Structure 1
Amino acid sequence: MNSELDSYFQETSRWSAELGLLRKILLGTELKEEVKWGQPCYTLNGANVIMLASFKDNCAISFLKGVLLKDPKMLLSKPGENSQTVRVIRFTNVQQIKEIKADLSAYIAEAISLEQTGIKVDRKPDSAPEIPDELNAKFAESAELEKAFLALTPGRQRAYCMFFAAAKQSKTRTARIDKYIPQILCGKGMNDCTCGLSKKMPACDGSHQLLKKKSEI
């Protein structure tokens, strides 16, 4: 058990009971509980295997190589239309977890076994992302921004475009773009470290939370 996550489980009041039960199940395995991107992450020999997350309408357990799981009970779903590897199981009450606890434990055991074999997911090459109109408008205003964006790896470009385009309203898409312009100009992806504290460079492992905690003391 990672004490740094105690506050996460306590403060996520809407799904605290559900996440607490999922946490208990995971802590009964050989996985190590860590903080990654500010979320509970369960690792094996340093490799990310499973994550827990809280959303507005549900909470979820995410299998990071879920596409490789057999899924005999048809419990897994894609977190997004374009997700190649991650598969999730979503919950809205404790009873749902209790009803499939045995199956869930079997899925977790299979995920651990897959990680132990060292098997990798065969990803499809990233296709060129469809750039939202709002981002193209920003490019028209700033050639520097366009140059910086096009210099990013295809995967980073795709992540940004998917995130921006996911907003239903144009003003929300524009707000999202404005928020990430400084990060794009610095050559950073959405999930890249910007504070320099991460031990998993260039990815962010949530170490910036230390800065937040220190500032609150």
Structure 2
Amino acid sequence: MNPKVDDFINNAKKWQPEIEQLRLLLLACGLTEELKWRTPCYSFEGNNVALIGCFKEYCALSFFKGTLLQDSNGILSKPGENSQAIRFFKFTNLAEIIEQKSIIKAYIYEAIEIEKAGLKVNFKSNTELELVAELQNTLAKNPNLKTAFQALTPGRQRAYNLYFSAPKQSKTRETRIEKYTPRILNGKGINDCTCGLSKKMPSCDGSHKYI
């Protein structure tokens, strides 16, 4: 168990029991635990396999190459309509995780086998958009982020690229990319609401700040 994940769980304002149970299942399957993008991340031989995410209305177990899972039970969800790779479980209480324990572990083991086999997700290319250099470099170093970014709609990709390219200094551009990496990995656009409290969903109009 990674002490950084211990701190994450201890400081979580919601979903602590659910996170702990998912953590035990992931570790029981032999995955390595780390804290990446401010969230628990689980890998196999250096390759990211799954993330635990906390949202307002549910706790999620996301698979980086979820689209390659057979999902014979038909229970995985897509972060967005055009998501090409990531798929995830939604849980609203601890009982749901316990009841589906064997199913969840089966999906985790299948995801591990996908990594063992070296399978890759085939993405639709987007040759029209010229990405800012810092974003190109970051995506090249982080295949999972590249996977998530390419799964975004063209409009969301352009919005991110425009925002990242705005600062004059390279360091500022890199800082922006780092800050928004978790949002991209969760399949969210730069203007999408992640708190679920804004009045104009899925966009964020800032109204949640006053609730």
Q: Which residue of 2 aligns with 1:120?
A: 120
Give the C-alpha shift of residue 48 in structure 1: 0.4
| Secondary structure at 1:9 match in 2 | helix
TM-score (norm 2): 0.66
Aligned residues: 167
Deviations 1:31-60 (A, max 9, x none): 100111111110111110111111111110
CA distance in structure 1 between the partners assigned to 2:40 and 2:157 by the alignment: 22
> Aligned-pair RMSD on alpha carbons?
3.6
Gaps of 5+ in 2: 140-145, 181-211
Matching residue within 167, 179, 183 for 1:182: 167
- The 1-side partners of 2:131 and 2:121 are apart by 29
Larger radius of gyration: 1
Q: State the identity as a percent.
A: 37
Answer yes or no: is 1:42 the counterpart of 2:42.
yes
**AA paired with 1:79?**
P
Partner of 2:12: 12
Preserved CA contact (<8 Å) 2:43 2:50: yes
1:162 to 156, 172, 184: 156
Q: Displacement of 1:187 after TM fit?
A: 5.0
User: In structure 2, what is the equivalent of residue 32 of structure 1?
Assistant: 32
- CA change 1:27–1:16 in 2 (3 A) is same
**C-alpha distance in 2 between matches for 1:190 and 1:66:** 27
Write the distance in 1 (CA, Å) between the matches of 2:163 and 2:177: 16
Per-residue CA deviation, residues 98-136 of structure 1 (Å, 9 max, x unaligned), is 12111111000100111111111111112646xxxxxxx
C-alpha distance 178-84 of structure 1, shift in aligned 2 (>3 A): closer
Describe how 1:105-116 pairs up with structure 2 within 5 A.
105-116=105-116
The one-letter amino acid paired with 1:37 is: W
How big is the shift at 1:159? 7.9
Deviation per CA, 1:57-93: give whole Å up to 9, x if none. 1110001000000001111111112211000111110
- 1:73–1:191: structure 2 CA closer, same or farther, 3 Å change rule? farther
- Whole-Å separation in 2 of the counterparts to 1:191 and 1:151: 8
Gaps in structure 1 of 5+ consecutive residues:
130-146, 167-176, 195-217
Partner of 1:58: 58
Structure 2 Cα separation of the partners of residues 45 and 9 of structure 1: 24
